[in-house]
Structures are given as structure tokens and as C-alpha cells.
């Protein structure tokens, strides 16, 4: 196991270009299975989730090659429709291969997925959508194996009771392969869904209504080789903006669509942070103690649940009492217990967290329980007195190319080390 050490307090300052979006590239990698040829993705982040998905695709007979941030996927020799349980357990995003493999082979076998333990995140809506398109799906206990088959996918009208990103992605893959028109209503409107639709259209699909909650797909069209440039990761951008806010920093983040972060920038302004924005650039300057705010998470365009742990970390040192209401994942407050070890005054009850800001946090030994929570502890440590050690930092590496490199470039005293002390990054 590895850990990250941070010495605070420090004031980060400088500029960063955001890496490609994790939540955009993973479904595109799954969608590449639909094309019987080569897909090229540019601006791909070199993160563990990408390497994991490459491994899954390779196990199915695909050929994946990542050169720098350019990924080439050749699916012409894919010969498998079943993913092994061990591979599925490493990453929740692997569930989206269910719809893609079903569209390619009319058969797919997967297991209930793994990933961060931040909530139940049931896949019922995924299965209902695929069944509506003509799939027969058997679920076996206790291993959670899902076997999907169809004699032919057919277009249908599907209404989602909740805007689930993953369910919409699986439905899109199957709908692109289905014969006839599919109408998806109640869709998630996250920017990553929009990127995926544009990517699929670039392969030859026909998807209309992009950016709305109603998508119309004309299925069964021939697909072809394509190239697509991944947009910047809005959650990584938000990470460094909230890092600057929490430690009186001054940071410029570019390479991300500013409009995708309107919920965050609005909250930052209410917290007393100065901002300047251009279409693909955000500048923040925090020169005083933050003001307390009340925020509720929700599906896009509401405040993103993935940024809630970072906001909690920043508000731990704000002036006054803040309230956070989590409406997406029931276990998203797991980071609160770790922040309490650093002196934060946080009380959680159900889906509500009350945060009474303290003037200072102190360094402590804390544990990364999940991807965003671990990164949020790293952000909190920037403003804490003394050394903080964040253990199990492998969670963080699922979504960040190198958080230590990025924060060091902004002036932080931070390093990644192995538990035995034999290895240490030296960038």
C-alpha cells in the first residue's frame, strides 16, 4: 500500500491544464466495441481506471495501445463476450460493457461491478432499459453473474425514473445497435453524456437531443473507424479550484469547459472567493477566510456529488456553520470521520452534514476510503498544521494522473511513498 504525505499549511499558486475526463473516456472505451475496427481517443488521462478498462478489453481480444495520451483500440479481432469476475470487481464503470457487448454480439456476460463504496448504486435501471430493447437477462446468485441474450435488439421508448448516468450510457449502446428508433426520456444531462453522444455520432450513429433529457436514436446504422478528443475533467478542475479556495491560494485552471462548472463557481462566489472566467479558463483567488454556505448535491446541472467531499474539506475551516445535503449517494459522507481526525467539527445525520468551521486543522494519519474522498483529504491537508499522511492512496490514482505532481507544481510540499519506505516519487 502507498500513502501521500503533505506538509501544511501552504498557499498554492500557479496554473494547471486539466487532464482528460475520466467519466468521458471510460464509456467511449466501452463503446469502441460496437465498431468492428479502430477507434482513436486523444487527451486520454493516464489513470488506473483507464488501464483497468484496457485490461478488460484486451482480455476480450481487443488490442489497446496507449502512447502518451493517445489511445488506439482495435476491436476487429474481439472474440469474447464474457468478462471475468475479478476484472469486474476492480471498477464499477465496467458494467457499461454489458450494453456494448450485447450490441456487438447479441450476447453478454458480466458480473455486478466493483468500485468505490459510496452507496448502493443499483443497476436495476440498466437492466430494465436493456430488457425494453429486447434483451433477456438472467441474474444468478450468489456470484451476481448477469447473462444477457437477444435474437435482435429493437427500438423502444424508455423513461428513466432517475437520471442515472450509467443506465443512460448502457441504453445508448444498445439503442445504437438496435433496429429502429429509440427514445430515451428522463436522461442524465451530465456533460460526459453529451461527449459520448458526439463520439457515437462521429462513429456513424444518429443521436439527437444532445444536452437535453430526451435523446432520440436512429439505430442499426453502420459504424466506422473514428477519432475523438476527450474534453477536460471537470471534477479534477474542481479539485484544484477548491484546493486554492481552502488554503487562500491563487490558481488558474484551463482546458475545461467553464460552463460545466457553473454550480461550483456560484458556490465559490458565495464563499467569498474572487473569480475570473473565460470559456475554457477559470482563475480563483482566495485571500480571506471562507464564508459558510448551504449546498445540496444533485444530478447535473446541480452541484456534483463528486465535488461534495472537497467542499466539505474547504468548509471545515470556513467562518460559521455550513450545511451539506447529499441526494445522490447515501455513503458519500465517509470522509467526515477522517476530517474529524484533523480537528474538523462535522456532525452527520442521514443525508445532512452540519459543519461548524474551525480556524485551523491539524495534520493527522487518515485513510482514503474512496477516490474523491481520498483526494479531498489531500486538499484538506494543504491548509492543516503539520504533516498529514493519507494512506491507501491507490484509490486516488483511479482518477488522477498524478495529484502530487500537480500540487507540487503549485507550491505544495507533498510526496507519494510506499509503506516500506523503499520507493518515493521525485518529480
Q: Dump the DSSP string for 219-268.
A: ESPPP--EEEEPPB-HHHHHHHHHHHHHTT-EEEEESS-GGGGHHHHHHH
The 10 Å CB-count burial string (b at 16+, else e) for 97-126 is bbbbbbbbbbebbbbbbbbbebeebebebb
First to last CA, the chain: 20
Whole-number Å distance between alpha carbons of 250 and 404: 18
Largest Cα span, the chain: 64
Sign of the Cα torsion 168, 312, 9, 252 reads: positive
Q: Residue 306 annotated as binding?
A: yes
176 known member of a binding site? no
Helix or strand run (H / E) with residue 202: helix 191-202
Would you call 116 a catalytic residue per the annotation? yes
Q: Are 32 and 73 in contact (CB under 8 A)?
A: yes
Spatial separation of the C-alpha atoms in residues 321 and 354, rounded to whole Å: 7
Is 22 annotated to bind ligand? yes
Q: What are phi and psi of 188, to 5 degrees?
A: -65, 145
| Cis peptide bond N-terminal to 233, omega within 30 | no
Q: Which of 10, 64, 116, 187 is catalytic?
A: 116
Query: Is 328 marked within a binding site?
Result: yes
Give the residue numbers of the binding site.
22-23, 92, 306, 328
Give the residue numbers of the binding site for UDP-N-acetyl-alpha-D-glucosamine.
92, 306, 328
Give the residue numbers of the binding site for phosphoenolpyruvate.
22-23
Residue numbers annotated as active site: 116
Amino acid at each position: 500500500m502507498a500513502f501521500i504525505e503533505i506538509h501544511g499549511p501552504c498557499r498554492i499558486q500557479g496554473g494547471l491544464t486539466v487532464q482528460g475526463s475520466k467519466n468521458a473516456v471510460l464509456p467511449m472505451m466501452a463503446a469502441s466495441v460496437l465498431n468492428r475496427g479502430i477507434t482513436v481517443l486523444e487527451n486520454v488521462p493516464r489513470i488506473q481506471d483507464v488501464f483497468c478498462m484496457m485490461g478488460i478489453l484486451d482480455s476480450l481480444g481487443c488490442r489497446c495501445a496507449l502512447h502518451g495520451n493517445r489511445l488506439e483500440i482495435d476491436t476487429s479481432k474481439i472474440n469474447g463476450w464474457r468478462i471475468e469476475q475479478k476484472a469486474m470487481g476492480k471498477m464499477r464503470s465496467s458494467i457499461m460493457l454489458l450494453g456494448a457487448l450485447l450490441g456487438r454480439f447479441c450476447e453478454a456476460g458480466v458480473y455486478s461491478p466493483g468500485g468505490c463504496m459510496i452507496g448502493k448504486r443499483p443497476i436495476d435501471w440498466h437492466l430494465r432499459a436493456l430488457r425494453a430493447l429486447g434483451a433477456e437477462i438472467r441474474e444468478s446468485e450468489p456470484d451476481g453473474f448477469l447473462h444477457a441474450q437477444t435474437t435482435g435488439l429493437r427500438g423502444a421508448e424508455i423513461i428513466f425514473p432517475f437520471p442515472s448516468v450509467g443506465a443512460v450510457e448502457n441504453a445508448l449502446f444498445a439503442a445504437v445497435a438496435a433496429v429502429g428508433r429509440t427514445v430515451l426520456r428522463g436522461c442524465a444531462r451530465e456533460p460526459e453524456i453529451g461527449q459520448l453522444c458526439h463520439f457515437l455520432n462521429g462513429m456513424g450513429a444518429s443521436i439527437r437531443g444532445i444536452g437535453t433529457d430526451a435523446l432520440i436514436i436512429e439505430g442499426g446504422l453502420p459504424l466506422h473507424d473514428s477519432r475523438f478528443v476527450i474534453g477536460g475533467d471537470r471534477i479534477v478542475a474542481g479539485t484544484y479550484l477548491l484546493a486554492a479556495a481552502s488554503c487562500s491560494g491563487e490558481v488558474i485552471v484551463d482546458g475545461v469547459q467553464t460552463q460545466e462548472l457553473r454550480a461550483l463557481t456560484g458556490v465559490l462566489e458565495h464563499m467569498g472567493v474572487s473569480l475570473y472566467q473565460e470559456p475554457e479558463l477559470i482563475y480563483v483567488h482566495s485571500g480571506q477566510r471562507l464564508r459558510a454556505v448551504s449546498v445540496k448535491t444533485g444530478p447535473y446541472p446541480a452541484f456534483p456529488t463528486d465535488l461534495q467531499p472537497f467542499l466539505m474539506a474547504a468548509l471545515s475551516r470556513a467562518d460559521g456553520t455550513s450545511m451539506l445535503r447529499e441526494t445522490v449517494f447515501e455513503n458519500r459522507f465517509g470522509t467526515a470521520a477522517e476530517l474529524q481526525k484533523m480537528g474538523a467539527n462535522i456532525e452527520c445525520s442521514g443525508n445532512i452534514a452540519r459543519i461548524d468551521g474551525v480556524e485551523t486543522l491539524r495534520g493527522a494519519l487518515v485513510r482514503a476510503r474512496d477516490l474523491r474522498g481520498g483526494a479531498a483529504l489531500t486538499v484538506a491537508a494543504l491548509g492543516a498544521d503539520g504533516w498529514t499522511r493519507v494512506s491507501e492512496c491507490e484509490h486516488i490514482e483511479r482518477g488522477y494522473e498524478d495529484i502530487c505532481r500537480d500540487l507540487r507544481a503549485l507550491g505544495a510540499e507533498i510526496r507519494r511513498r510506499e509503506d516500506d519506505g523503499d520507493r518515493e516519487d521525485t518529480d
